[in-house]
């Protein structure tokens, strides 16, 4: 047998702080760098950034914000199947040209009741429909106000505009705008051939879509969304696939596991959506996944709230993990996602240099308004709750099988994550702007105008601990916090 001491001839594995990108001659201005990429074989993004499938990070609120700005949110799986289906539908509906869940009024309602209803629902007008759904008119604030002030009758049928301009089911944005222009109106009910209401197009909706011109959208123009699914959760996979989730993320802390791989392969074969499988961190694992996965997610223990490495003694420093997986995945043209441990935009672009096509972040987004965690104040500073999916709290809420633990044994968890807090950051928009802006500047330093070119061109240098210290702000007292740098993160 081989002497045990041979085990100590160990290969080196590196992470973000161990390396820097070597600057190169460049003709690329950061603003011109194109960050378009793929997260899976058939899903493209304009921004190579994903928000983590964690119950303090991604629900529909953040998923909508991410997709509108060209990235992708991955819904967590600490919720029932019905809830996650609802959440997917919420994202899919968010920027739809034709609103399908229309607030309607009935002709016999009082004007006052409709006024209150519109207020509650946050809409400024409503189609008036009879019991069969046929459109009889449309009522808006402008119709209602005089009736409330001086009118002596109080029925919607009196107050509504009864010459309604409607659009057919296949209306597109241009047709709708023309109708609005021609008739000086702001909303057009969409009807079937029997004049029954099937949807509504609004001017506000059209303008909103235009504002997000680099959004991640599916073939029908709806926002894209990812969904985390347990390796053995065929029902959840089928349910979210049915409502057009774009990418399923088979979510497991250690996907290089026989049962996980067998089940994931079966699950992937049964759904329409692309299926990304993870997490892994070695060549051998990647070799197995390229056979059936549409994307591979990398990260064994790099996360800010992860304790996998200290609890289990196992893990793989992230830059090496990404490079090993990318070696294999790139030969099969399968995208790689670097998941966890990214604190700064520099880390994100290093992950891409190491072979990733996109990056996934948890803590970076957990402090934003769009994330679901609670805001707490400690020592006069605001934070948001952020916890590992392998923390006791998150596992008690249902996520135990990510760690291949039985979700029913609620008392005897061996956690692999902590429950924590992260500084409150306000809207995700500025966070994403800083992250992507820093990544583009990184592309500029390497002289690469696109992500594929950057991946080819980027080279690393090794950094000593003295070099790391030199790289951070040092020997000064920071007086004004920068929007993209905090020394203690």
Matching residue, tokens 């349910």: 239
Pairing of β 125-129 and β 336-339 = unpaired
Could you say which of 224, 306, 374, 456 is catalytic? 306
3-state secondary structure (DSSP) of residue 190:
strand
How many CA atoms, within 13 angstroms, populate the side-chain half-sphere of residue 487?
14
Q: Of 338, 335, 323, which Cα lies nearest the Cα of 294?
A: 335
Instruction: Indicate whether 78 belongs to the interface with ligand XMP (CB under 6 A).
Output: no
61 vs 362 by CB, closer to ligand XMP: 362
Determine whether the annotation assigns residue 362 to a binding site. Answer: yes
b/e string for 361-394 if b means 16 or more Cβ within 10 A? bbbbbbbbbbbbbeeeeeeeeebbbbbbbbbbbb
Q: Which stretch binds ligand XMP (CB under 6 A): 260-268, 286-294, 298-306, 474-482?
A: 298-306
For ligand XMP, which residue of 264, 360, 443, 448 counts as binding (CB under 6 A)?
A: 360
Determine whether the annotation assigns residue 253 to a binding site. Answer: yes
Triad 429, 438, 295: Cα angle to 5°: 80
Instruction: Indicate whether 304 belongs to the interface with ligand XMP (CB under 6 A).
Output: yes
Residues 6+ apart with CB under 8 A from 402: 230, 251, 252, 253, 389, 390
Instruction: Indicate whether 342 belongs to the interface with ligand XMP (CB under 6 A).
Output: yes
* DSSP 8-state secondary structure symbol assigned to residue 401: G
Do 52 and 77 form a contact (C-beta atoms < 8 A)? Answer: no
For ligand XMP, which residue of 143, 241, 294, 339 counts as binding (CB under 6 A)?
A: 339
| Backbone dihedral angles phi then psi of residue 145, each to the nearest 5 degrees | -50, -55
For ligand XMP, which residue of 301, 335, 367, 449 counts as binding (CB under 6 A)?
A: 301
Instruction: Indicate whether 250 belongs to the interface with ligand XMP (CB under 6 A).
Output: no
Instruction: Indicate whether 391 belongs to the interface with ligand XMP (CB under 6 A).
Output: yes
For ligand XMP, which residue of 14, 45, 52, 114 counts as binding (CB under 6 A)?
A: 52
- Note if 402 is an active site residue: yes
For ligand XMP, which residue of 35, 60, 104, 308 counts as binding (CB under 6 A)?
A: 308
Instruction: Indicate whether 361 belongs to the interface with ligand XMP (CB under 6 A).
Output: yes
| Binding-site residue set for K(+) | 301, 303, 306, 470-472
Report the interface residues with ligand XMP, using CB under 6 A.
Answer: 52, 54, 253, 279, 299, 301, 303-306, 308, 339-342, 360-364, 388-391, 416-417
Just list the catalytic residues.
306, 402
| Binding-site residue set for NAD(+) | 251-253, 299-301
């Amino acid at each position: 047998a081989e002497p045990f001491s041979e085990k100590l001839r160990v290969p080196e594995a590196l992470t973000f702080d161990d390396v820097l990108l070597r600057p190169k001659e460049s003709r690329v201005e950061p603003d011109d760098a194109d960050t378009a990429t793929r997260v899976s074989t058939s899903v493209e993004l304009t921004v190579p950034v994903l928000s983590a499938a964690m119950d303090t990070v991604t629900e529909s609120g953040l998923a909508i914000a991410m997709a509108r700005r060209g990235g992708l949110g991955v819904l967590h799986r600490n919720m029932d199947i019905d809830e996650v289906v609802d959440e997917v539908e919420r994202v899919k509906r968010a920027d739809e040209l034709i609103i399908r869940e229309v607030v309607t009024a009935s002709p016999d309602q009082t004007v006052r009741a409709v006024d209150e209803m519109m207020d509650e629902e946050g809409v400024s007008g409503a189609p008036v429909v009879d019991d069969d759904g046929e459109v009889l008119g449309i009522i808006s604030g402008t119709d209602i106000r005089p009736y409330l002030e001086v009118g002596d009758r109080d029925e919607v049928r009196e107050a509504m505009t009864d010459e309604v301009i409607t659009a057919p089911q296949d209306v597109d944005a241009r047709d709708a705008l023309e109708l609005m222009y021609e008739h000086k109106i702001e909303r057009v009910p969409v009807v079937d051939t029997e004049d029954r209401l099937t949807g509504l197009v609004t001017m506000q909706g059209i303008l909103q879509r235009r504002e997000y011109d680099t959004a991640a959208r599916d073939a029908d123009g709806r926002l894209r969304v990812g969904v985390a699914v347990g390796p053995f959760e065929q029902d959840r996979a089928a349910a979210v696939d049915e409502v057009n989730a774009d990418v399923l993320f088979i979510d497991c802390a250690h996907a290089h596991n026989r049962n996980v791989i067998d089940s994931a392969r079966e699950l992937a074969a049964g759904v329409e959506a692309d299926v990304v499988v993870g997490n892994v961190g070695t060549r051998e694992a990647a070799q197995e996944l390229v056979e059936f996965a549409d994307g591979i997610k990398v990260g064994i223990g790099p996360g800010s709230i992860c304790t996998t490495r200290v609890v289990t003694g196992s893990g793989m420093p992230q830059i090496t993990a990404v490079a090993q997986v990318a070696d294999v995945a790139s030969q099969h043209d399968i995208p790689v996602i670097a998941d966890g441990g990214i604190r700064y935009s520099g880390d994100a672009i290093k992950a891409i240099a190491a072979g990733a096509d996109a990056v996934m972040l948890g803590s970076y987004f957990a402090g934003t308004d769009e994330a679901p965690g609670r805001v707490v104040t400690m020592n006069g500073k605001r934070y948001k709750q952020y916890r590992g999916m392998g923390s006791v709290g998150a596992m008690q809420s249902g996520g135990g099988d990510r760690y291949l633990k039985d979700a029913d044994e609620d008392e005897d968890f061996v956690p692999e994550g902590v429950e924590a807090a992260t500084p409150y950051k306000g809207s995700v928009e500025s966070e994403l702007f800083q992250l992507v802006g820093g990544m583009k500047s990184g592309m500029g330093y390497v002289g690469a105008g696109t992500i594929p070119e950057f991946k080819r061109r980027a080279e690393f240098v090794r950094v000593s601990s003295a070099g790391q210290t030199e790289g951070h702000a040092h020997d000064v007292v920071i007086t004004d916090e920068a929007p993209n740098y905090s020394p203690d993160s």
